[in-house]
Structure 1
């Protein structure tokens, strides 16, 4: 199997899995079934923190300066989103 065929097969498999997941089902699992505004904001808060951490890890392993700077901007954006959601929860 060449790289292009691998990507096609992987994409098709991912799309099959994603079609089975409805947004509400996914969120119910993340909120223990309670789709309250507070619980949804807590999910959003966790997602922002995870996005920050992922971008930081990529930044640390990326040699290109321009890409590092792009990751740094993304990290700052995610941190800002985190703070905004945190304020909303208070």
Structure 2
């Protein structure tokens, strides 16, 4: 997944980790991390500046369609085709 700064017309970083498509994307409230929901049943989190993979959350049993940060950036919520919503701790790394 490539992250672009449209205003500057430049690539910010390349985030790798999902083996399938990324279905939903969310920036952390402080803009330091990017979370993505994947068709590989995981939620991945990357450093928004470097693209370094920080966390992988596993626990859904089907495609993950959506992801959202809590206002304080300490938790992620993900929604899946398995009809569940999971809440994950998201420590600042």
Structure-1-length-normalised TM-score: 0.22
Answer 1 or 2: which has greater helix percent.
Answer: 1
Q: Higher Cα Rg: structure 1 or 2?
A: 1
Structure-2-length-normalised TM-score: 0.22
